[in-house]
Amino acid sequence: MKPSMEHQENAELITGSEGLLRSLLLEGVDCVFGYPGGSVLYIYDAMVGNPEFKHCLTRHEQGAIHAADGYARSTGKVGVCIATSGPGATNLVTGIATAYMDSVPLVVITGNVPTTVMGTDAFQEADIVSITMPITKHNYLVRDAEDLPRIIHEAFHIANTGRKGPVLIDIPKDVSNQQFWYKPCDHLDIRGYNPELELDHSEIDNLLQAIAESRQPVIIAGGGVVYSNAAEELAEFVNLTKIPVVTTLLGLGGFPSAHELWMGMAGHHGAYAANMAIQNADLIISIGSRFDDRLTMKVSGFAPKARRIAHIDIDPAEIRKNVQVDIACVGDIKAVLSYAHTKARPALSEMWIKQLKQDKADYPLRYQDSETELKPQFVIEMIDQTTQGNAIITTDVGQHQMWAAHYYTFNHPRSLITSGGLGTMGFGLPSAIGAQLGNPSRLVVSVNGDGGIQMCAQELAVCAIHQIPVKVVVLNNQVLGMVKQQQEIIHEKRYSQIDLAGSPDFVKLAEAYGIKGLRASTKEEAAKVWQEALETQGPVLVEFVIPKDENVYPMVLAGTALDQMIMGNFY
Active-site residue list? 61, 123-124, 173, 482
| Of 318, 338, 313, nearest in space to 197 by CA | 313
Distance (Å, whole) CA 148 – CA 515: 40
Beta strand ranges found along 492-553 (DSSP E)? 516-520, 540-545
Distance (Å, whole) CA 422 – CA 14: 40
SS3 assignment, position 56: strand
Q: What angle do CA 561, 393, 398 make, to 5 degrees?
A: 45
| Of 124, 39, 55, 136, nearest in space to 90 by CA | 124
Distance (Å, whole) CA 283 – CA 51: 56
Distance (Å, whole) CA 165 – CA 160: 7
Other CB atoms within 10 Å distance of the CB of residue 91 = 18
DSSP state of 459: G
Task: Give Cα 113 to chain centroid, integer Å.
Answer: 32
Other CB atoms within 10 Å distance of the CB of residue 130 = 10
Q: What angle do CA 548, 253, 344 make, to 5 degrees?
A: 140
* Residue 343 burial (C-beta neighbours within 10 Å; 0-12, 13-18, 19+): middle
Please check whether residue 20 is in contact with residue 176, taking contact to mean a CB–CB distance below 8 angstroms: yes
Distance (Å, whole) CA 495 – CA 483: 9
3-state secondary structure 330-360: ECCHHHHHHHHHCCCCCCCCHHHHHHHHHHH
Distances 359 to 216, 263, 272, 362, 364 between C-alpha atoms, Å? 14, 9, 7, 5, 8
| Of 92, 94, 157, 78, nearest in space to 126 by CA | 92
Counted residue by residue, the chain has a size of 571
Other CB atoms within 10 Å distance of the CB of residue 416 = 27
Please check whether residue 428 is in contact with residue 447, taking contact to mean a CB–CB distance below 8 angstroms: yes
For strand 565-566 and strand 555-556, is the pairing parallel, antiparallel, or unpaired? antiparallel
Q: Which residues pair with 108 in a beta bridge?
A: 81, 168
Please check whether residue 396 is in contact with residue 428, taking contact to mean a CB–CB distance below 8 angstroms: yes
